[in-house]
Every structure is written in C-alpha cells, then in structure tokens.
C-alpha cells in the first residue's frame, strides 16, 4: 500500500527524516518495501497569479498575461493554454529555471511579443500520469489562496516521499493512513491527531427505501442521498494529488472522494447515480446464475454464495467487491446515493478471485474493516462532496443489527515475561496497550484487555504479547544464551531426522522438490481414491483449491514440467505435510514421497537401457528403511490402492502399523495426469519411519559362516516375505541372513505352485558350527515351513 509521507505526518509526526521514519515503521512490523519522491525538484518555479489577460496581436491562439510573481513588478508571459484566465493561480517558471524534462527557461520573443517566463502544465512539471486530467487539461491550477512568489514546490506540498508499505494480512487496520498513523503514534509515544469529522446536518427529509435481508453478512449498512451536485465540478488539485501519491487515478469528483475516504479511514464506500436506481435498495444473496454488469464492463453471473446489492431491477453490484455499470456515476450525474457498509470477511473472502478481480475494497473487506466506522466515513465523504461539488444532503439512513461488546482477552504477567525473556514493567504494559486503543483492567495475575473494534487480529493472549513486544521494541529485548540439560549414558539415536532420510534418497540419485500445499481438486481426488480434500475458503486460483491429501499431485505436476523440458530420466522426492479430512476438521501428517520414471540407470555403454519399474523404486525405499532399523522390522504386503496399478502395489507395514504405499500409477490415471508412461510412486509417513531402533553392538565373529540352500514349493499366492519371516523365526540367533535367489513357476511345477530358492547364512560368535548343528537348524526351518505355510522341499 502506498502512503504519502506528508499525509501520514498530518496525524502522527515523529522526529527525524524520511530514513528514520522508514526504520521506525519497519521495526514496528510495517515493512517499507520502497521509497520514491512524490515529485521532482522545482527550483526556479514559483506561484504566479494572472492579473491581466490580453489577446496576442499576431496569434489568435496565444494570450499575453501580466503575472504577479511576488517581486512587486508584474512579469509578462505569453501563454497558449486554453484554460488560462484572469485571477488564475499557476506555476510560473522564471528565466534560469530548468523544467524536469530538461527544458531551460529564458527570455524569449514569441511572434513579436516578449515573454519573461512560462506558465506550466502538470506534464511540464513532471506530475501526474498519462491519461489523467492533470496531464490533459492545460495549465495546472494551484490553490487560489497560494501567495505569489512562493516556491511552487511548497504550494504543491513538495518535497514529499511515497512510502510503499507491505501490510501483513492480519493488520487490516493498517490499510488506511489513520491506521498506520495510530500505530506510529503508539510506537513513538507521540499523540495521535485523529481526524475530527463533524456530522453534516440533513437538509432534506427524503429517504431511499432500504432492506437488509442478510444481516449476518452485512451487520451495518448506511446510505445517504445527496441531490443537486454540480455536474461540471472537478476534483481540486490537492485531492487528485493525494490519490496519485497513493497509486490511484482521478476519475470523477464523487469517485475520487470515496477513494480518498477509503485510503484515509480504511472504509470502502460506493456511490450510485440516484436517478438510475429503481425502487428499493436490497442487500441479499445472489440468485442462481443472476447476471450483473460490473464497472469494468464485464458481465458476470453470480450464485447464492455471493452477497449482492440490488434494486427492483436486479443485482446492481457485488457487495464488498465492485459496483455495477448500470447505476454508475457519470459526467452528467447530479443526484447520488452514498453507501458505507460493514460486510463480514466471510461473505467477501475469495469471491473477488472467483470473478477474476482483486479490488481495493475486497482487499479491505476480506481482512476486516472497523464495524463502527461506517457512519463516520459517510459523514467525511459528505463533507468533502459538499465542498467540492455542492449539493443538498439527506439524512444518514443506518441499518444495523445488534452487536455485543468485543471479547476480553486475559494477559498473564508470568506468561508475558516467560515468552519475552524479560520483565516489562506493569506501567509500561498498560501504557502500550492503551496507546493501541485497548481498554485495560488490572487483575491479580495480569490484565483483562478488551481490544478495539478495528483490531480483528487480537483474539488470544499471544496476540497481546506480540503487541507488547512490538511496541516495547524487539531491539530492546536483551538476547539470552540458551542451554539444555543432558545426562551421559542416555540413548541418543532413538529417532532419525528428515535430513538423514533426504540424504539417503539424494545418494540414490533423487532430487528434492518443493511443491504447493494447495492443489487441484480433481487431481487430488483422483490420487486419493475419490476422497474430497479440505477446500480453501479463499483459494488463489481454481488449480489451488484444496489442501493436498497426498504429496503425489505436486510431484506429478513437477514430473510433467520436467518431461516437457526433455528430461528422459526423472527421480524426485519431497518431504512435507499432507492434510486429510477429519471429524474434528483436518488431520495433518508429515510424509516423505517420491516419483520416478524413465531409465532405471543413466544411459551408458555397460548396461542396456530399461525402464524404471516397481522393484527399482522398492530397492530405493528399502535403502531408506535400512537407515532406520535392521532388516526384518518392515514388511511389504501386496494390497490395492485406487491410484496404483493392480498387482503392482504394496503396503508398507512396521510391527503391524501401516506406514505407506509403493506402486506403479494406475493406467486409468495416465491420461488425466497428462502422462504417457506410468511412473512409480511411494509415500511413507515420517512419524512411523523415523522411530529408529537403537543400534546394539554385535561382535564380529572369528568363526566361519556356513551357507545352506533350500528350494521349497508353495502356493503361487503366498508372499515370499512370509517365507522369509518364518525362516527367521525358526532358525534362531545363528541365522545371519536369508537370500532369495530364485523364484520359478512353469514346467515340472504343479499349476498353482511356485518354487522359491532360499540361501541361509549361519554363523556363531563363540564356536564353529558343526554339520549336526546346521542339520538341526535346517530341519527345524523345513518343519516350520511345512507346518505353518504348507511348503515342501522341491526334489
């Protein structure tokens, strides 16, 4: 948000120059992103008043002006501007001055008449923007009260700087000059010169019928009719210039005034051409497919999710976002209706983006405006309008639902000191909170604080602590050395951090991706098996409409981008939070996920090229598991997942607990995901994965190992992991490793069976195993396999 420094200092004027002001604003949490001058140096240019005006004897379009420039002697200046007139006050560039465009001014003779200077337009002074009135209407007229001879820069409130503030969404009160000034005054300890806005008495008793059908969406709705304004009125220079320095263009005196009040007080207003309204004003929900023509010229269709302003002809504006073109103020408008309302953030949030808009009004209503400032804003607008364009004001018509007092937030003295690391004196705490406009009542353990209506962000104790720290000064809080107790001998390797998990995948040739937590609704639902994710109330776009239920949508999107850039081998992983619908609202879980496609190995001469498959990614995941716990703690269970290929998917288990999934993408999802070949994916919960089994030292045996191979016949549907688990249980501590080195089904094997060949590595640490020892262990293994799994030795 852009703010003129001079306008800000009208309400709070701390000592120091612009740099000091910028530093103070940034330190109090209102970051200044940029500073630029409001206008150029106008040395040699002064205020001049035209005393006499005569036609040029040799040029019909030129005028000869006698100009008072404060020297006691009038200066003759030849001027060709159409709007020059006797008594007019303009900027006069005297000989020796250099205009911002580089033109040097000297004495000249124009068609035989001497000219001792130049009367300047806004363009020649380097003010205004192309297409604005001050750039197109000839000479720039100054305030009639300006004294001739005064430097033009002073008359134009220059020098001045434009501050570009980065207002965080929680500080809705600072989307206004008075809000920033109030905060600045509280920080600097100076008085806040709040603008005095007198009530404008009604001069007409005529009322406009108004009905608020949705008081929950619009608790306060204020209107006022002003009739008989001058159609030829134009905004004075000071008004146009304040808008320019705030980043807005001058449009029409009525619109300019509503914009100025919004910038000054933070309350958006809207003006209607009263003669173009039909019947009553109604605040209601939109009807299905209800049309409205916006001020932008675009025709949109609404639904009951939108709050609208309507008359008897239908919707004439979208509440809190933009008015309609059918009732817009125009050059011929003489009767207007001003509207100032409080629309709750919930009925405005996200609606502007759905219409492809982002207006200044929507920005403020989405974050919250002061629910007590609507009538104040309309009085200020009326006051300005009467001064600029005249007119007869009617009565302020206020429709308001009953609102209770704001809630009380308890601030505990002990909690404040613990979070800040130092004790702020009670007197200072109370002074800070009161300077911020809060009602403070001391209590035994601290304070009971009632925040003002304009501070929507003060809801819990931590919010008050933040305010105390911010105004007290972060730089005044002394840094303290932290320490943590520890005892020798405690087990330290009980968890594996995500950095270690990331490192394993990087070593395996993966690259880390970072994707949005917000994803496309359709893609998220497909990869979650049809479940609907948690929708956002205010989505950035339709492609970012729900909280992700899995990291796969983001990885799929990243994969598409890489493939579109001719990457033939892509291996990506991400660690992040997924969000699942929950009876209590939403459940969050940190997971690590990956996706791989293309060649299994980088292209080379030693190995033939082949596509990455299920077993390649399973090998990578098992390397990840090896960093957490010894072999045997994890188990792969063949299972079906809606997003994975049937028969090429598995569930990862640890001691009976489900951890995640691995598999190839389901063929039916390739086209919707924009892919030609199925990638392989995995996703595992970090919490269950990171619980490490403490490493126990095992002596390296000096005795030889013995290997025995067995081949057993089992049913084709039996998981090999069940065989391995049964072998481990039966063999006991002498078993060091089980190798599955062959699986065969076909000739000489009964239908419905397969042959699995296992290599058992046996070794003791205290003695050499004898043949009898080995035979006994192998016999026990064969008996267990036969008893538990129906396996028999293959002859």
Q: Give the distance, in angstroms, between the CA of residue 360 and the centroid of all CA atoms in the same chain.
A: 16
d(C-alpha 554, C-alpha 530), whole Å: 17
Task: Kindly give the residue spans of alpha helices, DSSP state H, lying in 276-373.
Answer: 345-348, 351-354, 360-367
What tens digit of pLDDT does each residue of 81-127 get? 989 999 999 999 999 999 988 889 999 999 999 999 999 988 888 88
CATH number of 409-474: 3.30.56.10
According to DSSP, the β-strands at 220-227 and 392-393 are: antiparallel
The CATH class of the 45-155 domain is mainly beta
Q: Which two tokens stand for residue 612?
A: 């990455």
> Given this model, what pLDDT does residue 102 score?
85
* Backbone torsion region of residue 368, taken as left when φ is above 0, otherwise alpha when ψ lies between -120 and 50, otherwise beta: left
CATH number of 2-38+160-188: 3.30.56.10
Per-domain boundaries in the chain? 2-38+160-188, 45-155, 210-400, 409-474, 498-690, 706-793
> Given this model, what pLDDT does residue 489 score?
46
HSE (CB half, 13 Å, CA atoms) of 680?
A: 23
Q: Which two tokens stand for residue 760?
A: 């058992």
> Given this model, what pLDDT does residue 486 score?
59
Q: Does domain 498-690 have CATH number 3.40.718.10?
A: no
- Are the CB atoms for 761 and 769 separated by under 8 Å? no
Burial 491-503 (b: 16+ CB within 10 A, else e): eeeeebeeeebbe
Fold of 706-793: Alpha-Beta Plaits (3.30.70)
Helix, strand, coil percentages in the chain from 3-state DSSP, rounded to 5:
30, 30, 45
Secondary structure string (H, E, C) spanning 558-585: HHHHHHHCCCCCEEEEEEEEEEEEECCE
Q: Which two tokens stand for residue 597?
A: 């496609």
**Which residue from 165, 174, 261, 164 is spatially nearest to 456, judged by alpha carbons?**
174
Q: Do domains 2-38+160-188 and 409-474 have the same CATH topology?
A: yes
Could you count the other beta carbons within 10 Å of the beta carbon of residue 531?
13
Q: Which helix (H) or strand (E) holds 417?
A: helix 413-420
C-alpha Rg value of the chain to the nearest Å: 39
**Which residue from 486, 490, 283, 309 is spatially nearest to 399, judged by alpha carbons?**
283
d(C-alpha 262, C-alpha 246), whole Å: 11
> Given this model, what pLDDT does residue 717 score?
85
**Which residue from 8, 1, 11, 6 is spatially nearest to 32, judged by alpha carbons?**
1
Following DSSP, what letter does each residue of 80-114 receive, concatenated?
--TT--TT-EEEEEPTT-B-TTSPBP--EEETTEE
- Map residue 435 onto helix, strand or coil: helix
> Given this model, what pLDDT does residue 765 score?
87
What tens digit of pLDDT does each residue of 40-79 get? 888 889 999 999 999 999 998 899 999 999 999 999 999 9
> Given this model, what pLDDT does residue 188 score?
87
d(C-alpha 193, C-alpha 181), whole Å: 9
Q: Which two tokens stand for residue 274?
A: 């009263």
d(C-alpha 299, C-alpha 355), whole Å: 10
Model-level pTM greater than 0.75? no
- The CATH number of 210-400 is which of 3.50.40.10, 3.40.50.720, 3.40.30.10, 1.20.1560.10? 3.50.40.10
What tens digit of pLDDT does each residue of 571-590 get? 999 999 999 887 777 889 99
> Given this model, what pLDDT does residue 583 score?
76
HSE (CB half, 13 Å, CA atoms) of 109?
A: 3
What tens digit of pLDDT does each residue of 235-283 get? 888 898 899 999 998 899 999 999 999 999 999 999 999 999 999 999 9
Residues in the chain predicted with pLDDT less than 70, given as ranges, are 128-137, 402-405, 482-495, 631-632, 692-697
Residue 584 makes CB contacts below 8 A (sequence gap 6+) with: none
d(C-alpha 339, C-alpha 331), whole Å: 19
d(C-alpha 775, C-alpha 169), whole Å: 74
Could you count the other beta carbons within 10 Å of the beta carbon of residue 57?
10
């Amino acid at each position: 948000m852009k703010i003129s420094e001079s306008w800000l200092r009208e309400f709070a004027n701390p000592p120091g120059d612009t740099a000091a002001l910028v530093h103070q604003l940034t330190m109090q949490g209102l970051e200044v992103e940029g500073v630029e001058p409001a206008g150029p140096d106008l040395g040699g240019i002064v205020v001049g008043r035209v005393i006499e005006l005569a036609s040029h004897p040799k040029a019909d379009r030129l005028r000869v002006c006698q100009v008072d420039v404060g020297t006691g002697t009038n200066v003759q200046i030849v001027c060709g501007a159409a709007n020059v007139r006797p008594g007019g006050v303009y900027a006069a560039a005297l000989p020796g001055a250099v205009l911002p465009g580089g033109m040097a001014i000297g004495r000249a003779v124009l068609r035989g008449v001497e000219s001792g200077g130049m009367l300047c337009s806004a363009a020649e002074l380097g003010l205004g923007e192309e297409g604005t009135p001050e750039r197109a209407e000839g000479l720039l007229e100054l305030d009639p009260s300006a004294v001739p001879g005064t430097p033009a820069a002073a008359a134009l409130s220059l020098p001045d700087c434009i501050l570009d503030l980065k207002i965080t969404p929680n500080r809705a009160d600072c989307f206004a000059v008075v809000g920033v000034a109030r905060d600045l005054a509280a920080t600097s300890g100076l008085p806040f010169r709040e603008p005095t806005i007198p009530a404008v008495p009604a001069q007409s008793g005529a009322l406009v019928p108004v009905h608020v059908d949705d008081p929950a969406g619009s608790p306060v709705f204020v209107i006022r009719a002003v009739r008989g304004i001058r159609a030829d009125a134009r905004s004075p220079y000071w008004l146009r210039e304040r808008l320019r320095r705030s980043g807005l263009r001058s449009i029409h005196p009525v619109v300019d005034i509503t914009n100025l009040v919004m910038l000054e007080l933070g309350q958006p207003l809207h003006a209607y051409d009263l003669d173009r309204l039909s019947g009553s004003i109604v605040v209601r929900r939109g009807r299905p497919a209800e049309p409205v023509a916006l001020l932008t010229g675009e025709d949109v269709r609404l639904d009951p999710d939108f709050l609208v302003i309507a008359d008897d002809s239908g919707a004439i504006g979208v509440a809190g976002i933009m008015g309609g073109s059918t009732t817009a103020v125009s050059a011929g408008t003489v009767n207007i209706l001003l509207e100032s309302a409080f629309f709750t953030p919930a009925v405005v949030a996200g609606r502007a983006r759905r219409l492809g808009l982002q207006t200044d009004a929507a920005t403020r209503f989405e974050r919250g405006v002061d629910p007590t400032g609507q009538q104040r804003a309309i009085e200020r607008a009326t006051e300005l309008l009467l001064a600029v364009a005249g007119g007869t004001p009617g009565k302020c018509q206020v429709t308001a639902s009953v609102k209770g007092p704001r809630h009380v937030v308890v601030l505990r003295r002990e909690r404040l000191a613990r979070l800040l690391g130092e004790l702020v004196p009670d007197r200072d705490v109370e002074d800070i909170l009161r300077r911020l406009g809060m009602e403070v009542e001391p209590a035994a353990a601290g304070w009971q604080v009632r925040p003002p209506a304009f501070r929507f962000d003060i809801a819990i104790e931590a919010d008050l602590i933040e305010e105390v720290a911010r105004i007290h000064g972060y730089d005044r809080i002394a840094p303290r050395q932290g320490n943590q107790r520890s005892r020798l001998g405690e087990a330290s390797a009980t968890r594996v951090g995500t950095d270690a998990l990331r490192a394993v995948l990087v070593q395996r040739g993966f690259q880390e991706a970072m994707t949005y937590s917000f994803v496309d609704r359709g893609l998220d639902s497909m990869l979650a098996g049809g479940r609907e994710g948690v929708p956002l109330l205010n989505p950035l776009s339709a492609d970012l409409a729900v909280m992700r239920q899995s990291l796969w949508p983001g990885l799929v999107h990243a994969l598409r981008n890489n493939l579109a850039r001719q990457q033939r081998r892509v291996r990506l992983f991400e660690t992040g939070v997924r969000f699942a619908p929950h009876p209590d609202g939403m459940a969050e879980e940190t997971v690590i996920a990956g996706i791989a496609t293309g060649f299994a190995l980088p292209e080379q001469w030693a190995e033939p090229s082949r596509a990455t498959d299920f077993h390649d990614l399973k090998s990578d995941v098992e390397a990840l598991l090896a960093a957490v716990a010894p072999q045997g703690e994890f188990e792969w269970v063949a299972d079906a997942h809606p997003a994975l290929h049937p028969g090429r998917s598995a569930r990862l288990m640890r001691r009976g607990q489900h951890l995640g999934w691995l598999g190839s993408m389901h063929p039916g999802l390739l086209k919707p995901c924009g892919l030609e070949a199925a990638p392989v994916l995995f996703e595992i919960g970090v919490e269950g994965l990171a619980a490490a089994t403490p490493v126990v030292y095992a002596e390296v045996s000096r005795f030889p190992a013995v290997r025995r191979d067995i081949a057993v016949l089992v049913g084709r549907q039996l998981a090999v992991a069940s065989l391995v688990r049964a072998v481990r249980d039966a063999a006991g501590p002498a078993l060091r490793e089980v190798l599955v080195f062959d699986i065969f089904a076909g000739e000489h094997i009964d239908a419905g069976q397969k042959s699995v060949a296992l290599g058992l590595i046996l070794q003791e640490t205290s003695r050499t195993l004898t043949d009898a020892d080995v035979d006994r262990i192998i016999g026990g293994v064969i008996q267990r396999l036969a008893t538990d799994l129906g396996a028999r030795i293959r002859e």
